[in-house]
Amino acid sequence: MKNVMIWSIGLIFLGAVGCQSMTGKTAGRTMSDAGITASVQSKLTADQVSNFSRIDVDTERGIVTLNGVVQSAQERERAGRLAKEADGIRGLNNNLQIQSQSPQSMN
Protein backbone atom coordinates (compact mmCIF):
# COMPACT_ATOMS: atom_id res chain seq x y z
CA MET A 1 0.00 0.00 0.00
CA LYS A 2 2.85 2.35 0.86
CA ASN A 3 4.50 1.67 -2.51
CA VAL A 4 1.26 2.45 -4.35
CA MET A 5 1.03 5.80 -2.55
CA ILE A 6 4.66 6.64 -3.38
CA TRP A 7 4.10 5.70 -7.05
CA SER A 8 0.91 7.77 -7.14
CA ILE A 9 2.67 10.83 -5.73
CA GLY A 10 5.52 10.31 -8.19
CA LEU A 11 3.13 10.11 -11.13
CA ILE A 12 1.32 13.26 -10.02
CA PHE A 13 4.67 15.06 -9.73
CA LEU A 14 5.79 13.86 -13.17
CA GLY A 15 2.46 14.93 -14.64
CA ALA A 16 2.86 18.43 -13.22
CA VAL A 17 6.46 18.72 -14.40
CA GLY A 18 5.56 17.22 -17.78
CA CYS A 19 3.29 20.18 -18.50
CA GLN A 20 6.36 22.31 -19.10
CA SER A 21 8.33 21.97 -22.30
CA MET A 22 12.09 22.04 -22.61
CA THR A 23 11.90 25.82 -22.99
CA GLY A 24 10.29 26.16 -19.57
CA LYS A 25 6.95 27.27 -21.02
CA THR A 26 3.78 25.73 -19.69
CA ALA A 27 1.33 24.09 -22.07
CA GLY A 28 -1.01 27.07 -21.58
CA ARG A 29 1.71 29.57 -22.48
CA THR A 30 2.61 27.55 -25.58
CA MET A 31 -1.01 27.55 -26.70
CA SER A 32 -1.28 31.26 -26.00
CA ASP A 33 1.90 31.99 -27.98
CA ALA A 34 0.62 29.89 -30.87
CA GLY A 35 -2.67 31.81 -30.79
CA ILE A 36 -0.87 35.16 -30.80
CA THR A 37 1.30 34.06 -33.73
CA ALA A 38 -1.75 32.90 -35.68
CA SER A 39 -3.56 36.17 -34.93
CA VAL A 40 -0.62 38.29 -36.10
CA GLN A 41 -0.16 36.20 -39.26
CA SER A 42 -3.87 36.55 -39.99
CA LYS A 43 -3.75 40.34 -39.60
CA LEU A 44 -0.71 40.59 -41.87
CA THR A 45 -2.23 38.31 -44.51
CA ALA A 46 -5.57 40.15 -44.48
CA ASP A 47 -3.94 43.56 -45.00
CA GLN A 48 -5.14 44.91 -48.34
CA VAL A 49 -2.56 47.70 -48.60
CA SER A 50 0.70 45.74 -48.43
CA ASN A 51 2.03 42.33 -49.37
CA PHE A 52 3.41 40.90 -46.14
CA SER A 53 4.05 37.41 -47.52
CA ARG A 54 7.76 37.58 -46.70
CA ILE A 55 7.28 38.15 -42.97
CA ASP A 56 8.02 35.43 -40.43
CA VAL A 57 6.17 35.68 -37.10
CA ASP A 58 7.39 34.06 -33.89
CA THR A 59 6.01 34.48 -30.37
CA GLU A 60 7.81 33.64 -27.14
CA ARG A 61 6.09 34.35 -23.82
CA GLY A 62 3.84 36.93 -25.43
CA ILE A 63 6.66 38.78 -27.18
CA VAL A 64 6.15 38.80 -30.96
CA THR A 65 9.16 38.90 -33.26
CA LEU A 66 8.78 39.90 -36.89
CA ASN A 67 11.54 38.84 -39.30
CA GLY A 68 11.69 39.26 -43.04
CA VAL A 69 11.79 41.84 -45.79
CA VAL A 70 9.41 44.67 -46.67
CA GLN A 71 9.49 47.26 -49.45
CA SER A 72 9.59 50.45 -47.36
CA ALA A 73 9.85 52.00 -43.92
CA GLN A 74 6.10 52.63 -44.07
CA GLU A 75 5.44 48.91 -44.59
CA ARG A 76 7.75 48.09 -41.68
CA GLU A 77 5.81 50.46 -39.42
CA ARG A 78 2.45 49.19 -40.71
CA ALA A 79 3.36 45.57 -40.03
CA GLY A 80 4.41 46.51 -36.51
CA ARG A 81 1.13 48.35 -35.87
CA LEU A 82 -0.89 45.40 -37.16
CA ALA A 83 1.05 42.98 -34.96
CA LYS A 84 0.43 45.11 -31.87
CA GLU A 85 -3.32 44.78 -32.46
CA ALA A 86 -3.23 41.05 -31.65
CA ASP A 87 -4.79 40.05 -28.34
CA GLY A 88 -2.37 38.90 -25.66
CA ILE A 89 0.75 40.51 -27.11
CA ARG A 90 3.13 41.75 -24.41
CA GLY A 91 5.80 43.23 -26.66
CA LEU A 92 7.16 43.45 -30.18
CA ASN A 93 10.58 42.97 -31.73
CA ASN A 94 10.30 44.40 -35.22
CA ASN A 95 13.34 42.99 -37.04
CA LEU A 96 11.94 43.64 -40.51
CA GLN A 97 14.50 44.73 -43.07
CA ILE A 98 13.74 47.21 -45.83
CA GLN A 99 14.56 45.79 -49.24
CA SER A 100 17.17 47.95 -50.89
CA GLN A 101 16.62 48.93 -54.47
CA SER A 102 19.23 47.85 -56.94
CA PRO A 103 20.88 50.64 -59.00
CA GLN A 104 19.20 49.32 -62.18
CA SER A 105 15.70 49.63 -60.74
CA MET A 106 16.35 53.25 -59.76
CA ASN A 107 16.82 54.34 -63.40
Give the pLDDT confidence of 51-77 residue by residue, as tens digits.
Answer: 888 899 999 999 999 999 999 999 999
Q: In this structure, is residue 73 part of a structural domain? A: yes
Pairing between β-strand 91-98 and β-strand 63-70 as defined by DSSP bridges: parallel
Determine the structural domain holding residue 75 and report its residue range.
27-101
- The total domain count for the chain is 1
Identify the pLDDT of residue 73: 95
Identify the pLDDT of residue 55: 95
Q: In this structure, is residue 2 part of a structural domain? A: no
Average model confidence (pLDDT) across the chain: 80
Q: Which pTM was predicted?
A: 0.68
Identify the pLDDT of residue 17: 47
What is the pLDDT averaged over residues 40-51?
91
What is the CATH number for 49?
3.30.1340.30
